[in-house]
Amino acid sequence: MTTPTEQVRNHPETLPTETLKASINRQMIVILDFGSQYSELIARRIRETQVYSEVLSYRTSAEHLRQLNPKGIIMSGGPNSVYDKNAPQCDPEIWQLGLPILGVCYGMQLMVQQLGGGVERAKLAEYGKAALHIDDPTDLLTNVDEGSTMWMSHGDSCTHLPEGFTRLAHTENTACAAIANPEKKLYGVQFHPEVVHSVCGQALICNFVYHVCNCEPTWTTEAFVEESIREIRAKVGDKRVLLALSGGVDSSTLAFLLHRAIGDQLTCMFIDQGFMRKGEPERLVEIFDRQFHIGVHYINARDRFLTAIDGVTDPEEKRRLIGHEFISVFEQESKRLGPFDYLAQGTLYPDVIESADTNVDPQTGERVAVKIKSHHNVGGLPEDLRFKLVEPLRKLFKDEVRKLARSIDLPEEIVRRHPFPGPGLAIRIIGEVTAERLNILRDADFVVRDEIAKQGMYHDFWQAFAVLLPIRSVGVMGDQRTYAHPVVLRFVSSEDGMTADWSRAPYELLETISNRIVNEVKGVNRVVYDITSKPPGTIEWE
Catalytic choice (40, 54, 90, 105): 105
Residue 192: active-site member: yes
How many Å separate Cα 283 from the centre of its chain?
26
Whole-Å CA distances, 471 to 313, 432, 468: 13, 11, 9
Which amino acid is it at 251? S
Catalytic choice (11, 154, 170, 192): 192
Angle at 140 between CA 74 and CA 177, to 5 degrees: 80
For 337-373, b/e burial (b = at least 16 CB within 10 A) is: eeebbbbbbbbbbbebbeeeeeeeeeeeeebbbbebb
Integer Cα distance of 132 and 126 in angstroms: 12
- Farthest CA pair distance, the chain: 85
Catalytic choice (194, 325, 391, 542): 194
Integer Cα distance of 419 and 398 in angstroms: 11
Residue 325: active-site member: no
The answer to whether 522 and 468 have CB atoms below 8 angstroms apart is: no
Residue 213: active-site member: no
SS3 328: helix
Q: How many CA atoms lie within 13 A of 169 on its CB side?
A: 27
Integer Cα distance of 349 and 79 in angstroms: 23
398 Cβ contact list (under 8 Å, min separation 6)? 250, 348, 350, 496
Pick from 422, 16, 459: which is nearest to 250 by CA?
422
Q: Kindly list the catalytic residues.
A: 105, 192, 194
